[in-house]
Chains A and B, each alone.
Chain A
Amino acid sequence: MTEVSNDVLAFANQEYKYGFSTDLDTDLVPRGLSEDTIRLISSKKSEPQWLLEWRLEAYRHWITLEEPLWQNVHYEPIDYQDIIYYAAPKTKAALASLDEVDPEMRAMFDKLGISLAEQERLSGVAVDAIVDSVSVATTFKKKLAEVGVIFCSFSEAVQKYPELVRTYLGSVVPYRDNFFATLNSAVFTDGSFCFIPKGVHCPMELSTYFRINAADTGQFERTLIIAEDGADVSYLEGCTAPMRDKNQLHAAVVELVALEGARIKYSTVQNWYPGDAQGRGGIYNFVTKRGKCAGANSKISWTQVETGSAITWKYPGVILQGDNSIGEFYSVALTANHQQADTGTKMIHIGKNTHSTIVSKAISAGHGQNTYRGLVKMLRSAQGARNYTRCDSLLLGSKSGAHTFPYIEVKHPSAQVEHEASTSKISEDQLFYCRQRGISEEDSVSMIVNGFCREVFKELPMEFAVEAQRLLSVSLEGSVG
């Protein structure tokens, strides 16, 4: 692979375009974590007592836990007392309209290509913009309210829809779930809340854009999406962070609830700062994402394109409780330089005739290490359950690695599980073929990599598919979808 290596390096070392930081006047709580920190965060957000209690219970549980070590990633121990748990850009009172968003903030989002001005949105995507620990703006709220869709920051939901929050918070990811989910439950600051009432087809894509701006902070957001009977929603999530040479922790929790016949499509393009070419800095992206197909005939679909973060560690899963419910997971994970990813999914089949599909595409370049870890579990009740899993790994260069750990537990004799896996390299022959046709080496690599990811990209909403391809440094217009 010596001939390829220069190009692979160039491909892998593309500059991170979102690495700037913005000088925002920020309200920080003191470093470190204690019950006092949690009380302070809770009081800053004027939270009801039950929520504070819930946080404290999570915290008391968290201090009894050990940080997990089983994942196939390596990092220096995190000093949890050296993290700032709350950082909020200061705003003048409450915003009456989006026009009042701080110009610095607006400029920052413009630079990221995210418009906070509703009339400028071409495709009609509603955006909840989250900077550090708080939501700074949510667009198209009014238009969504007309059809009964609630889309707002988590903090606002706690104030305005406390019963909904209380009913569903922790119903999919309980605060005892795992070390990072428990930490999140104790200190989560904001996030997006979305409720689609019975029978409503959400008229536009909803999206949350996460931005870590402040230094030395952790971002612990919490997203909760509820689709009632027959409701339908497509949700997008994007994220970036400034280049800093110290690692920053992002430990989010996402919970999805689909009631009878509901459909939730959740797409992520994760582009947190990955660290520099020597592996310094970057985001630790330790996230718990899970959906519950609570009702019969419901469907939850996760699509993720993971190109950022120093370390990605997450398993967006689906609990298939309702009969005939469907869970899907489509993933592209790229690790370059010294990035590490241990990602995959969990499909828990409980209901009858539940189906799940897993398509994972892992690309490793440079010293990148990419692990697929997936659990397919079919309980005694899961008569007629089916799973199809396909895991493909593509290696660029000789120092990268790909690993696959499938876990399969089947308790019902009628269940069917299929697993296919492959590992390949971009071959000299493929490169030579493309180059002989006049395509530059760099474009050839991009083209082959994008072709490899095509099955996943075609699951993304159009706008995101374009973003995802661009992220993999390509001009593949027209060939996807």
Chain B
Amino acid sequence: MMLHIENLHARIGDNEILRGVDLDVAAGEVHAIMGPNGSGKSTLANVLAGHEAYDTEGVVLFEGEDLFALSPEDRAASGVFLAFQHPVEIPGVGNLYFLRTALNSVLRRRGLEELSVMQFLALAEDRMKSVEMDRSFMNRSVNEGFSGGEKKRNEILQMSILEPKLAILDETDSGLDIDALRIVAGGVNALRSPDRAMVVITHHQRLLDYIVPDRVHVMAGGRIVRSGDKDLALELEEYGYGELGHASSVDASTSVGATP
């Protein structure tokens, strides 16, 4: 199993956000996680990537290794990638420079040789095509002045250059118009491979028309309350979240609403 999560809890202070998540993701699979606001989807993504704001309990194994033993940068090097819901701006740091530094840091941590500027440029040019980004992006500061769609495309570009084993996409579709959605989904689909697993967090069934998942999970109140195949997403679209996991999550979701 590439990713094994067992009884995962996460809290900030007294506020427990994840309340016992269980999830298994095998290589080559795409899992969609859906659920209402405040159900803990983004927290799950952040905890997997190593955000230090949370106190955690439970077991998370990535390729059999304890993920919690690794720093965020070591998780990145071992192949965990998070496409952020809100990519930050880093003024004055060129996008291309940032990407090359990231890739070379990851290669160095893996004990591999770093890419030269020329090698990197060739790689970047190639990958930029897959997300339909032109070169002018590369000389701008990281995400500075990017539109919402440009930021999300930039995340997918980074993913395609870093070639992770486990890609977690946190609401990558939010705020995208239909064209941007198509481009982003195209970039993601191009990266599907038997060696790679993806966890796609989304609010809307719409994205799953483009990225067809192997499994769909519904989160509510800090737990996965229902799992199924891609048809589950359609069911959700029709009936909403209200009906699902009703019994198991009412108490939880009220306190989740108080997330700071």
Contact = CB atoms under 8 A, between A and B. Distances in A.
B91 A443 contact: no
Interface stretch (A56-64, A109-117, A147-155, A428-436): A428-436
Q: Which 10 A-B pairs have the closest CB atoms?
A: A451-B92, A451-B93, A454-B92, A438-B76, A437-B102, A479-B97, A438-B106, A435-B72, A438-B105, A435-B73
A65 interface: no
Contact of B105 (A429, A432, A440, A452): A440
Contact of B92 (A432, A433, A439, A453): A453
A138 B117 CA distance: 38
Interface in B74-97: 75-77, 81-82, 84, 86-88, 90-94, 97
Contacts of B181: none
A447 B93 contact: yes
Find the residue from B81, B87, B105 having the highest chain A CB count within 10 A.
Answer: B105
26 contacts: A429-B86, A432-B51, A432-B52, A433-B87, A433-B88, A435-B71, A436-B73, A436-B82, A437-B76, A437-B98, A437-B106, A439-B73, A439-B105, A440-B105, A441-B73, A447-B98, A448-B93, A450-B93, A451-B90, A451-B91, A451-B92, A452-B92, A453-B92, A454-B91, A454-B93, A476-B97
A455 interface: yes
Given A436-B75, A440-B105, 20 more contacts: A428-B53, A429-B86, A432-B50, A434-B90, A434-B98, A434-B102, A435-B73, A436-B82, A437-B76, A438-B106, A438-B162, A439-B73, A439-B102, A448-B90, A451-B91, A451-B141, A452-B91, A452-B92, A476-B97, A479-B94
Interface of B: 49-53, 71-73, 75-77, 81-82, 84, 86-88, 90-94, 97-98, 101-103, 105-106, 109, 117, 141, 158, 162
A384 to B, nearest CB: 31
A478 B117 contact: yes
Nearest to B141: A451
A36 interface: no
B117 A430 contact: no
A439 B101 contact: yes
Interface residues of A, number: 27
Contacts of A478: 97, 117
Given A429-B88, A451-B92, A453-B92, A436 B76 contact: yes
B92 A455 contact: yes
B105 A3 contact: no
Contacts of A448: 90, 93
Nearest to A435: B72
Contacts of A443: 101, 105
A427 interface: yes
A454 B103 CA distance: 22
A436 B50 contact: yes
Contacts of B72: 432, 435-436
Contacts of B50: 432, 435-436
A435 B90 CA distance: 13
A478 B75 CA distance: 27
Contacts of A440: 73, 105
A132 B63 CA distance: 62
Contacts of B158: 437
Contacts of A437: 76, 98, 102, 105-106, 158, 162
A3 B77 CA distance: 21
Contacts of A438: 73, 76-77, 102-103, 105-106, 109, 162
Nearest to A427: B88
Contacts of B75: 436
A453 B84 CA distance: 26
A14 to B, nearest CB: 20
A104 B170 CA distance: 62
Contact of B90 (A433, A436, A455): A433
Contacts of B92: 450-455
A279 to B, nearest CB: 30
Find the residue from A428, A430, A438, A451 having the highest chain B CB count within 10 A.
Answer: A438
Contact of B52 (A3, A439, A451): A3
Interface in A412-468: 427-430, 432-441, 443, 447-448, 450-455
Contacts of A427: 88
Contacts of A439: 73, 101-102, 105
A432 to B, nearest CB: 6
A169 B231 CA distance: 86
Contacts of A433: 84, 87-88, 90
